[in-house]
């Protein structure tokens, strides 16, 4: 879950330079998960963006990944999606992830995130 939180935080930082609507596909739909998604939404909106919620409940994220795959294949991918750590490499191999290295460097993530 920590990797997911960091990925979501990265999304917020990556989008800080340009305001707009951000459709976010995620599966944080119950209890504390929904509160965490609401906190990310609040942070993003505080930076001048509009969060368009696309929550997909059930399956521990499997249902959301099925929806994401169909959206990507149809050319209608959301602006952001919650993705489990190991799956990131698969999506990167497909060439569908945005490179946020410049944002990470500008925001000095190396000094903020724990070493791995």
Q: What is the per-residue pLDDT for 19?
A: 72
What is the pTM (predicted TM-score) of this model? Answer: 0.76
* Structural domains of the chain in order of their starting residue, each with its CATH number: 2-12+19-112 (3.40.190.10)
Q: Is 75 helix (H, G, I), strand (E, B) or coil?
A: coil
Task: Name the nearest CA neighbour of 10 among 21, 20, 24.
Answer: 24
- pLDDT, averaged in runs of 10, over the chain (116 residues): 51 57 95 95 94 94 95 94 90 90 93 89
- Longest distance between any two alpha carbons in the chain, whole Å: 38
**Rounded to 5°, angle at Cα 112 from 111 and 116:** 80
What are φ and ψ of residue 53, in 5° steps?
A: -75, 130
């Amino acid at each position: 879950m920590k990797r997911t939180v960091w990925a979501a935080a990265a999304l917020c930082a990556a989008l800080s330079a340009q305001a707009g609507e951000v459709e976010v596909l995620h599966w944080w739909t119950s209890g504390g998960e929904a509160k965490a998604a609401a906190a990310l939404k609040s942070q993003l909106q505080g930076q001048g963006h509009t969060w368009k919620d696309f929550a997909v409940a059930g399956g521990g994220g499997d249902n959301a990944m099925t929806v994401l795959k169909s959206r990507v294949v149809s050319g209608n991918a959301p602006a952001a999606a919650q993705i489990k750590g190991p799956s990131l490499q698969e999506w990167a191999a497909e060439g569908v992830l945005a490179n946020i290295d410049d944002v990470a460097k500008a925001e000095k993530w190396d000094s903020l995130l724990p070493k791995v």
